[in-house]
Amino acid sequence: MDHNLATAEKDVLEELVKQVQLRGLRGEHGGWMDFVAVCNQKDITPHNLSMVSRDVLVAFLTTFKKKEDLQRLQRFANSLLVEKLKQDTPENNTPEQMLIRLTMKHPEFSSDYSFPSLSNDWFVSDIGMKSSTVMNSTDMIAVDCEMVLCEDGTEGLVRVGAVDRHGMVILDKFVKPDKPIVDYRTTITGVTAHDIDNATLSVVDIQKELQPYLSKGAILVGHSLNKDMKVLKIDHPKVIDTALVFKFSNARNSRKPSLNDLYKAIFGKEVRKEGVSHNCVHDAAASIGIALAFIKNPFDTTVAPSKEMLEAEKSRLFIHRIPSYVPSEKLNLVLAGEFHSTKFKLDVKPAKGYGGNYCAVVVFDSPKEADQAFENVNGYKERDSFGLPQKLSTLKLSSGLSATCYVRKMV
């Protein structure tokens, strides 16, 4: 950290000292006024930081040695950087910085990217304390993670994929969670118990693998990237989230596009077929591919869905508010009883929060089959807030329990 402070912008150093005073933080020689008294330099005007030399500010800030204090300083420096990156200035006008700015201006950015990163097991990027040259770097890496459901209701990291802007795979590793797993979500993750039995890496190991790229100012890219950063326990201010930057012209309110649909609309091909489990390396490559397409030739971030996509919506049903105690791997069998059919594929979407409800998209071979399955569902027919038909259905589980969820048409 000492080296970072020595190269930090003067205005950043001044704001850090102000923050220290506001929070009453104390270094090895006490607070700011205590430090000034120890220095015994009459030319220091402690209440006017703009008149204090860089060397004195650096000397004071380097007296903070506790990890929690350092993380606080890094977080605050990063928050200053975020505010700078949000501004539309000539210095922030590269296509990469435009994508960062569009990410940060999304109404859900503040809530999505507010992390509990003062915990000791988090890695807080130090990029906000570095020189403007490092902060303005346009290097990029994309990450994507696969998560499982753990016994305590939290999500555990089990696989990480990362690629650079040239498409080179820089990371593809299995990770062993530190808690017992109750649902591998194999239909989504493609990860099995055997994969995890042979894994030896921890979240901390993955943080160490990514740290050199982030500390050099790399932009972190992903689709719904906040979910990956949360499970990686990484707080980094320079991000491009393609789920926040782009939207479909027919999207309702804040509905975010799926990576697969967005990639198909832009490139005319899928990242994966419906019902096929995810591959985090392929998903990371897809998200950075979308970002690079914009960087090469900027286009409207409101994307028109393809005719095939609009037609495909008619062959789908959306199942939402599925309780977490309904195993995702058994959902196929449960829904087959409701639909009176087994001719469908399932794309399960994990819960947004720990222990929360999850959802799934059911894909049929034709609109006729989707319509018939919806009619076969036993439940009261109503319309959601957007006027789409849906039914409240009661699922009967093999355990003897029952669960209610909504079955809704997509169009």
Mean of pLDDT values over 194-215: 94
For residues 95 and 74, what is the distance between their CA atoms, to the nearest angstrom? 26
Q: Which residue has the tokens 């009619």?
A: 375
Q: Across 64-68, 212-216, 349-353, 398-402, which has the greatest mean pLDDT? A: 212-216
Angle between helices 280-296 and 259-267 (to 10 degrees): 40
Q: 344: closest CA among 314, 370, 368?
A: 370
The DSSP code for 409 is E
Binning pLDDT at 50, 70 and 90, where does residue 398 land?
confident
Binning pLDDT at 50, 70 and 90, where does residue 247 land?
very high
Angle at 130 between CA 2 and CA 116, to 5 degrees: 85
- Percent of the chain past pLDDT 90, that is, above it, reads 55
Binning pLDDT at 50, 70 and 90, where does residue 13 land?
very high
Mean of pLDDT values over 163-168: 95
Give me the pLDDT at residue 91, please.
Answer: 67
* 3-class DSSP state of 328: helix
For residues 383 and 409, what is the distance between their CA atoms, to the nearest angstrom? 10
Structure tokens at 169: 């795979």
Number of residues assigned to the chain = 411
Give me the pLDDT at residue 3, please.
Answer: 61
In whole numbers, what is the pLDDT of the chain averaged over residues? 89
Mean of pLDDT values over 273-291: 89
Residues 74 and 59: beta-carbon distance below 8 Å: no
**What pLDDT, in 10s, does the model give residues 91-108?**
668 899 999 999 999 999
**What pLDDT, in 10s, does the model give residues 15-41?**
999 999 998 999 988 999 888 888 766
Angle at 122 between CA 98 and CA 177, to 5 degrees: 110
For residues 387 and 385, what is the distance between their CA atoms, to the nearest angstrom? 6
For residues 271 and 95, what is the distance between their CA atoms, to the nearest angstrom? 24
* 3-class DSSP state of 319: strand
Residues 396 and 337: beta-carbon distance below 8 Å: yes
Proportion of the chain in helix, strand, coil states, percent, rounded to 5: 40, 20, 35
Mean of pLDDT values over 344-366: 82
Letter for the amino acid at 252? R
What are the b/e assignments for 174-196, b being 16+ CB within 10 Å?
bbbbeeebebbbbbbbbbeeebb
Give me the pLDDT at residue 174, please.
Answer: 96
What is the CA 203 to chain-centroid distance, rounded?
16
Binning pLDDT at 50, 70 and 90, where does residue 354 land?
low
Give me the pLDDT at residue 250, please.
Answer: 76
Give me the pLDDT at residue 149, please.
Answer: 87
Which helix (H) or strand (E) segment is 196 a member of? helix 193-197
* pLDDT surpassing 70 at residue 349: yes
For residues 41 and 214, what is the distance between their CA atoms, to the nearest angstrom? 38
Full-model pTM: 0.82
Letter for the amino acid at 291? A
Give me the pLDDT at residue 153, please.
Answer: 80
